[in-house]
Amino acid sequence: MDQIILQILNGLDKGSAYALIALGLTLIFGTLGVVNFAHGALFMMGAFVAVTVSKLLTLSHKVVDETRTDFLGNPLEVDVPYVYDWFGQAAGDVLIDWAVPIALIVVVPIMILIGFAMERGLIKHFYKRPHADQILVTFGLAIVLQEIIKYFYGANPIPTPAPSAFVGSFDFGVAFGFDPNAIIYPYWRLVYFFFSIAIIGAVFAFLQFTTFGMVVRAGMADRETVGLLGIDIDKRFTIMFGIAAAVAGMAGVMYAPINSPNYDMGMHFLVLSFVVVVVGGMGSLPGAVAAGFMLGILESFASMSAVIDFLPGINQIVIYLVAIIILLTRPRGLMGRKGVMEE
Amino acid sequence: MSHSKVSRRGVIKTGMVASAGLALPQYLRADSHTGFTNAPGDSEVVLGFNVPQTGPYADEGADELRAYELAVEHLNGGGDGGMLSTFSSKALDGTGILGREVKYVTGDTQTKSDAARASARSMIEKDGAIMITGGSSSGVAVAVQALCQEAGIIFMAGLTHSNDTTGKDRRANGFRHFFNSYMSGAALAPVLAANYGTERKAYHLTADYNWGYTTEEAVRSSTEAMGWETVNAVKTPLTQTDFSSYIAPVLNSGADVLVLNHYGGNMVNSLTNAVQFGLREAEANGQNFEIVVPLYSRLMAKGAGANVSGIFGSTNWHWSLQDAGSQAFVQSFGTKYGFPPSQAAHTTYVQTLLYADAVTRAGSFNPCAVAEALEDFEFDGLGNGPTLYRGADHQCFKDVLVVKGKENPENEFDLLEIVEVTPVDQVTYAPDHPQFAGGELGACNPGA
């Protein structure tokens, strides 16, 4: 029983990431009709906003310490962060420690700008082109973004820790009457799960309870009619692209302490998130979220050693296997709408 | 009566064309008159450096390339000479190799076997490289080694740790200076026993490819021989980035040690996940829970950050070694590039010097003469103490370093500390040891 709870918890945080990326993917598909293969790269860039903020906060000047030597035997040059000079060491340490939450504030405008630039600069030219062209150009864009990040940050993962208040793990076992150590779960992954629930809730509320959201939903259902009513739906859809980019960016920032960011992290998530979108139903927001969590949990269960012993290799194919079964039985995915991608 | 259309002139024409066609490939081989592939001219010799310049090990490849460039500079008499002054063999004098200036070409392996073979082939066929060296992966090393064997070129392996490189996939034209999985296990086990005791239960997470298997086998057999029990060994996909679902069941499995047979990004992520799940602070079976990383690199340790603190592993070389050879290399490299070299840089620099030295001692670039000069060659002054290039399997035997993640690093390079220099005798094995079985060197191929 404890193992089952543990794997469900594991699946929830993995599913959170899938759901957040898939939400953006399906939002862009539902509004603009574009299959955006650069969405994983936006997630990766969000994580690198956290890396950048962390690096900026630790930007230092050298102070020579005559009492110590470096690896060549010269007097050691010690790095002193500028934030120490400006705010004092105690406040400076707090700022450096909280780099990831600070990055969460700056990532929103940055990613909205990047989203606008991508949509206006490149993707809008492909609206009337076949989906294959859109996939090729956005996939190419993802590779370009990856290479830019690798050029500036290198190929190795860069550790970006969570604030020290969230380091460590919570023993659910003790809290719920199991043995100690039976269900251990890191604090930051819990934060990530609740954060993703909040973001998903906010996006749904925005679309459901605001006039802007109502127009966007109307545009998703019947773009031409909304246009005939004199509403500039393209402008609203561009804003939605920016919002989707911001969601991916925030997901990336919060994910940075879970796995040290590196330049190709987005590609791994993109493929799985695309499967999530298809399973959930192209253009369906609740479908993307439900499929994200479902496939995350399934992937966790498939990684249990008892399952691998019984079905070797199942951990690597389970998501695709389930996707095949669902698409065979429900060709439009779990919550797909009739007519989407069927013209 | 039938009329044959075959004429005397036609036969002569056809015969000449056929002869020219058959002779052309021989003519195009620069070595046709020397008896081996890519014999150099009198003024210069070309070496081929095949390293990952893109892909996940690009940073390691960049460090290898820096070391190669430094080695070429030193061979040609530039810089401070680096390890030339500490190397026990005094055959090299800074005038290139056998009086020829050393030039080099580079290839990008992309850490993919097919790409690595293609770039090596290009350097051999188009650039006339007489020797190929490099690589940051055992899969790549084995693939390029086999290619060099077919082409009649010496392959001086870079960073490759799998037993198979000088085990079941060994080749007469291939040589490895870097240590291997068996040596890691043999060096680590006594240190683990001394620090964690002999009553331990280990849980292995193993990267699902060649290197992972040999490392798991080596560490398992070494630790089981001293009394540890292996409670589970789980293969993890090489493409895995989040190891939480593999880490989560570990604490509840009855194990009290987690062995991460992972390298590169896999190791950075699995170790980070293990620390997040509180394994470092946990207790199991009445003992502190421990984590072991059999193969460390400084670049990996940098990626894992503070998570490596206090964790044991092994490494081929470390810049903090105080012997004259290591210090000379660190001084040269550090002065030129501004930071200390990695173990990948060290092994590639050393391999280049060893090749140049073997050619000089042999008095020939012929791969078979070079191989003969390298086989059973004993040397010192290159950073690992007295070393033997064993002729039976072309593996170097030298001391192995057991290291630990530093508790309070003073700078970004000060990540590992040496806890023991394991003497070479403790990591030496028979060429037909079961973990290396199934391979034959075969005959040296000069290529002509």
The pLDDT of residue B14 = 58
The pLDDT of residue B300 = 83
**Are B187 and B127 within one domain?**
no
**Are B310 and B187 within one domain?**
yes
Do B272 and A159 make contact, defined as CB atoms within 8 angstroms? yes
DSSP B395: B
Q: At what angle do helices A99-121 and A89-97 cross, to 10 degrees?
A: 50
Between the CA of residue B25 and those of B22, B28, B101, B128, what are the distances in Å?
7, 5, 28, 15
For chain A, report the end-to-end CA distance as a whole number of angstroms: 47
- Provide φ and ψ at B310, rounded to 5°: 80, 5
Percent of chain A with pLDDT over 90: 37
Last residue of a domain, one of B254, B281, B315: B315
B22 has a pLDDT exceeding 70? no
Nearest CA in chain A to B251: A181
**Are B283 and B307 within one domain?**
yes
Tens digit of each residue's pLDDT (9 = 90 or more) over A279-335: 888 878 888 889 989 988 988 888 887 787 788 878 788 889 988 998 899 888 888
**Are B348 and B364 within one domain?**
yes
Do B278 and A169 make contact, defined as CB atoms within 8 angstroms? yes
Of A335 and A117, which is predicted with more confidence? Answer: A117
Nearest CA in chain A to B333: A72
Residue B173 lies in a domain: yes
- Number of Cβ within 10 Å of residue B378's Cβ equals 11
The pLDDT of residue B24 = 44
Residue B384 to residue B407: CA distance in whole angstroms: 25
**Are B156 and B175 within one domain?**
yes
* Residue recorded with tokens 């010097």: B353
The pLDDT of residue B214 = 93
Residue B277 to residue A329: CA distance in whole angstroms: 38
- Select the residue of A10, A156, A259 nearest B299 (Cβ to Cβ): A156
The pLDDT of residue B1 = 41
Percent of chain B with pLDDT over 90: 73
We report the CATH number of the domain holding residue B168 as: 3.40.50.2300
Of A154 and A53, which is predicted with more confidence? Answer: A53
Residue A161 to residue A184: CA distance in whole angstroms: 19
Residue B32 lies in a domain: no
Tens digit of each residue's pLDDT (9 = 90 or more) over B60-100: 899 999 999 999 999 999 999 999 999 999 999 999 999 99
Confidence of residue B238 (pLDDT cuts 50, 70, 90): confident
Q: Residue B406: its chain A contacts at CB < 8 A?
A: none
User: How far is the alpha carbon of B255 from chain A, nearest alpha carbon, in Å?
Assistant: 12
Name the residue range of residue B389's domain.
Answer: 44-179+319-393
Residue B235 to residue B73: CA distance in whole angstroms: 43
The tokens of B268 are what? Answer: 């950075």
- Provide φ and ψ at B28, rounded to 5°: -70, -20
Confidence of residue B27 (pLDDT cuts 50, 70, 90): very low
The pLDDT of residue B117 = 96
Tens digit of each residue's pLDDT (9 = 90 or more) over B347-389: 999 999 999 999 999 999 999 999 999 999 999 999 999 999 9
Alpha helices in chain A (DSSP H): 2-32, 39-57, 82-87, 89-97, 99-121, 131-153, 172-175, 187-209, 211-221, 223-228, 233-255, 265-280, 285-302, 305-310, 314-329
Three-state SS letters, A134-166:
HHHHHHHHHHHHHHHHHHHHCCCCCCCCCCHHH
Q: Residue A303: its chain B contacts at CB < 8 A?
A: 245-246
Residue B242 to residue B399: CA distance in whole angstroms: 35
A137 has a pLDDT exceeding 50? yes
The pLDDT of residue B26 = 42
Nearest CA in chain A to B55: A155
The pLDDT of residue B18 = 55
B10 has a pLDDT exceeding 90? no
The pLDDT of residue B292 = 96
- Select the residue of B251, B276, B303 nearest A181 (Cβ to Cβ): B251
**Are B56 and B140 within one domain?**
yes
Domain A2-57+97-329 bears CATH identifier 1.10.3470: yes
Residues 293-332 of B with CB under 8 A from A: 299-300, 302-307, 319-320, 330-331
Q: Residue A189: its chain B contacts at CB < 8 A?
A: 244, 276
**Are B69 and B98 within one domain?**
yes
Give chain B's domain count: 2
Nearest CA in chain B to A187: B276
Q: Residue B234: its chain A contacts at CB < 8 A?
A: 305, 308
Residue B18 lies in a domain: no
Which of A69, A259, A269 to probe the B interface (max B CBs under 10 A)? A259
B251 touches chain A (CB under 8 A): yes
**Are B212 and B151 within one domain?**
no
Of B271 and B408, which is predicted with more confidence? Answer: B271
Which of B54, B80, B245 to probe the A interface (max A CBs under 10 A)? B245
The pLDDT of residue A44 = 96
**Are B186 and B129 within one domain?**
no
Lowest mean pLDDT among A14-18, B19-23, B221-225, B268-272: B19-23
Question: What's the whole-number mean pLDDT along residues B141-154?
Answer: 96
The pLDDT of residue B110 = 87
**Are B186 and B237 within one domain?**
yes
**Are B231 and B279 within one domain?**
yes
**Are B307 and B326 within one domain?**
no
For chain B, report the end-to-end CA distance as a whole number of angstroms: 50
Q: Residue B245: its chain A contacts at CB < 8 A?
A: 7, 10-11, 14, 299-300, 303-304
The pLDDT of residue B325 = 97
SS3 B348: helix
Confidence of residue B25 (pLDDT cuts 50, 70, 90): very low
Tens digit of each residue's pLDDT (9 = 90 or more) over B195-206: 999 999 999 999
In chain A, what are the domain boundaries? 2-57+97-329
Q: What is the mean pLDDT of chain B?
A: 90
Last residue of a domain, one of B315, B340, B368: B315
The tokens of B321 are what? Answer: 């070694």
Q: Residue B239: its chain A contacts at CB < 8 A?
A: 268
